[in-house]
Chain A
Amino acid sequence: MNPALLIFWVLAGLAVLGALSLVWQRHPIHSALSLIVVMVCLAGLYLLMGAEFVAMVQIIVYGGAIMVLFLFVIMLLNAGEEEHTDFSKLAKFAGLPLALALTASLAALAYKQDASVPTPTQAFIPGATRQISSMLFKEFVYPFELTSFLILVAIMGALVLAQREKK
């Protein structure tokens, strides 16, 4: 077996297991840990496709910063195990059909695209970092800066709301 393919299946399997465990775990911290596993596995998959920069940013931003904040909030609130409530009516009636529809459409897409999806080793992009940065700062500089501005506004909004609550 091709080693890259083997690594792909291991990482993909781990990511799916992590996602399942994220839903099934009863304790919020365990769920957050499962999500970290998913994030790191995704980074591994990006690395396998030759997107080194994206992979590392995935770990630094999602695996590191964002998940640490999740964990921080859960720890700060000292959230305990979830209590099991009755299923919501929506989940009871619409849940299974919707899940089936999603799975079916994804499966259909995967089946259709099967030949055109590049195998992990083929899609190697040399110098991905350079390409990404020139795209970000040349072609998409305005959307990029606008997004940063939007995030800044959101942060300030959150601050204002938090301050108001204090009074």
Chain B
Amino acid sequence: MISFLQQNAFWIITIVKIALLLFIVLTVNAYLTWFERKLVAHIQSRWGPHRVGPHGLLQPAADGLKFLFKEDPTPDGVDRFVYYLAPFLALALSLTALAVIPFGPDPIKLFGQKIDLWIANPDIGLLVLFAITALSVYGIALAGWASNSKYSLLGGLRSSAQMISYELSLTMSVVGVLLMANSFSLQKIIEAQARPGGWGVLGWNVIGLASGKFPVPQIIGFICFFTSAIAETNRAPFDLPEAESELVAGFHTEYASFKFAMFFIAEYTAMITVSCLATILFFGGWLSPFPASSFFQVTHYIPSITLIPFGLWVIYDGVKYETIFGKLILPGVGFAMFAIGAGLIALPGVNEFIQPIFWFTAKIFVFLFFYVWARGTLPRLRYDQLMNVGWKLLLPVSIANLIVTAGLLLVRGAK
């Protein structure tokens, strides 16, 4: 038994990692919907979900159950095979993208095995992600076509045109980063941003300072990348494929129940992937924004310093919450946060280990916040404006950024 485990350790570890990652990502997805509804509500001076559970925290579970138990009708005249294939394709591709994202540098040592914090780390990680992006058009386009509905077809057509257009600027905008890292590997791109001497935030590609030389900032590349990425994931203000006011619900008008939920999960997973990618490419991945010198050792307590007061505040909030359920749950959650924060101070080894993961998660969270913020505040573009922004603004600017970056790197002397 033991020898079987040892011989097949790689496969067992990989399968367990995949299951764990799926569990985490699907949970995060569920709470991302809660986060988005709550945040957009507050932007629009509303309360958002607040009936199911304290602060509406059980809303995702209620939504999930509703999706599962709703009737799942198949409209008349659909192309059955493609109609069923489309949501699977959308969900499978967006979840596959997460396989190549590295979440932390140091492997965990467990049962004598080194467990890396990624599922796969190919040398062409970024290209794999772009390949998946290129294929993920099909989920939406096919859903629109197979539904046998005018609204869906228009949504599908719009999305394929939009995604083809923005894929170009999405790809062009990151070539500057590739030139600076000299690699397609996501891990090497992050490591290249930890400039010798420990510059912290200044070394990240978005500023691009290197020791003793002038900086090659990729801020324009980042703006092009993130704008294109929002369009590529069909999110507001580029959510024309599902513009409610003109196309009912666009490509997923004819989908109900869990097939609709699959599109939903695919969209939110794509948001997480894009946030990971923006973090990795431009904002130093798991690197701390502070220089690595002993003076900044204090910053290693930032996870605790954020968790402890937040936990205390949640306890305080829970004690004066109106419902009994909230009075029981919220202090419990708050106490758990407080305990984790205190535990990190007590266990320096663990604290050191979670530093990269903490920064990575924090940066992803900031980008997810940006996503929701953009949705809450920006009006949707008209279709011709969308095409103009993609072809006449983002593409030339990202190409210019590439040329300038290449020139600057040539002058500076790469590596």
Taking the complex as formed, is A154 at the interface, i.e. its CB lies under 8 A from any CB of chain B? no
A56 and B128 within 8 A (CB): yes
Which chain A residues have a beta carbon within 8 Å of chain B's beta carbons?
27, 29-30, 33, 36, 40, 43, 52-53, 56-57, 59-60, 63-65, 68-69, 71-72, 75-76, 78, 129
A53 and B124 within 8 A (CB): yes
Known: A72-B157, A75-B157. A64 touches B124 (CB 8 A): no
Contact among A27, A36, A43, A60 with B130 in the assembled complex (CB-CB below 8 Å): A60
A52 and B167 within 8 A (CB): no
A65 and B167 within 8 A (CB): yes
B127 and A71 within 8 A (CB): no
Interface contact tally, CB-CB below 8 A: 73
- CB-CB under 8 A from B128, the residues of chain A are 56
Taking the complex as formed, is B360 at the interface, i.e. its CB lies under 8 A from any CB of chain A? no
A-B pairs with beta carbons under 8 Å apart, 14 shown: A29-B82, A33-B82, A33-B142, A53-B124, A56-B131, A60-B130, A60-B131, A63-B135, A65-B134, A65-B167, A69-B164, A72-B160, A75-B144, A75-B145
- CB-CB under 8 A from A57, the residues of chain B are 127
A56-B130 Cα distance, complex, nearest whole Å: 8
**Least Cβ–Cβ distance between A51 and chain B, in angstroms:** 10
**Least Cβ–Cβ distance between B200 and chain A, in angstroms:** 30
**Least Cβ–Cβ distance between B37 and chain A, in angstroms:** 32
A56 and B138 within 8 A (CB): no
- CB-CB under 8 A from B184, the residues of chain A are 129
> Which of A27, A33, A53, A68: most chain B Cβ within 10 A?
A68
> Which of B127, B134, B137, B157: most chain A Cβ within 10 A?
B134
**Least Cβ–Cβ distance between B96 and chain A, in angstroms:** 12
Contact among B81, B131, B142 with A59 in the assembled complex (CB-CB below 8 Å): B131
A53-B79 Cα distance, complex, nearest whole Å: 35
Taking the complex as formed, is B262 at the interface, i.e. its CB lies under 8 A from any CB of chain A? no
Taking the complex as formed, is B156 at the interface, i.e. its CB lies under 8 A from any CB of chain A? yes
Closest chain A residue to B164 by CB distance?
A: A68
A78-B149 Cα distance, complex, nearest whole Å: 12
- CB-CB under 8 A from B157, the residues of chain A are 72, 75-76
- CB-CB under 8 A from A59, the residues of chain B are 131, 134-135
**15 further interface pairs, Cβ-Cβ under 8 Å (given A59-B135, A78-B153):** A29-B145, A30-B82, A56-B131, A60-B127, A60-B130, A63-B135, A64-B137, A65-B134, A68-B134, A68-B137, A71-B142, A71-B145, A71-B160, A75-B145, A129-B123
Known: A29-B82, A33-B82, A65-B167. A72 touches B123 (CB 8 A): no
Chain B positions 106 through 146: 1 when the CB is less than 8 Å from some CB of chain A, otherwise 0: 00000000000000001110011011011101100110110
B124 and A129 within 8 A (CB): yes
Known: A56-B131, A60-B131. A29 touches B79 (CB 8 A): yes
Known: A72-B157, A72-B161, A75-B153. A60 touches B145 (CB 8 A): no
Known: A64-B131, A64-B167, A76-B157. A71 touches B124 (CB 8 A): no
Closest chain B residue to A74 by CB distance?
A: B145
B124 and A56 within 8 A (CB): yes
Closest chain A residue to B132 by CB distance?
A: A59
A78-B154 Cα distance, complex, nearest whole Å: 11
A30-B79 Cα distance, complex, nearest whole Å: 10
A60-B129 Cα distance, complex, nearest whole Å: 10
> Which of A27, A29, A36, A60: most chain B Cβ within 10 A?
A60
Known: A68-B138, A129-B184. A53 touches B82 (CB 8 A): no
- CB-CB under 8 A from B141, the residues of chain A are 68, 71-72, 75
A129-B123 Cα distance, complex, nearest whole Å: 10
Closest chain B residue to A78 by CB distance?
A: B153
Chain B positions 44 through 81: 1 when the CB is less than 8 Å from some CB of chain A, otherwise 0: 00000000000000000000000000000000000101
A30-B81 Cα distance, complex, nearest whole Å: 9
A64-B144 Cα distance, complex, nearest whole Å: 17
Closest chain A residue to B137 by CB distance?
A: A68
**Least Cβ–Cβ distance between A148 and chain B, in angstroms:** 14
- CB-CB under 8 A from A63, the residues of chain B are 131, 134-135
- CB-CB under 8 A from B134, the residues of chain A are 59-60, 63-65, 68
A33-B81 Cα distance, complex, nearest whole Å: 11
**Least Cβ–Cβ distance between A39 and chain B, in angstroms:** 10
A63-B142 Cα distance, complex, nearest whole Å: 14
A167-B164 Cα distance, complex, nearest whole Å: 28
A53-B124 Cα distance, complex, nearest whole Å: 7
A40-B134 Cα distance, complex, nearest whole Å: 12
- CB-CB under 8 A from B161, the residues of chain A are 72
**Least Cβ–Cβ distance between A22 and chain B, in angstroms:** 15
Contact among B82, B122, B137, B160 with A52 in the assembled complex (CB-CB below 8 Å): B122
- CB-CB under 8 A from A78, the residues of chain B are 153
B127 and A53 within 8 A (CB): yes
A69-B163 Cα distance, complex, nearest whole Å: 11
Closest chain A residue to B171 by CB distance?
A: A60
A60-B131 Cα distance, complex, nearest whole Å: 5
- CB-CB under 8 A from B164, the residues of chain A are 65, 68-69, 72
- CB-CB under 8 A from A64, the residues of chain B are 131, 133-135, 137, 167
**Least Cβ–Cβ distance between B311 and chain A, in angstroms:** 45
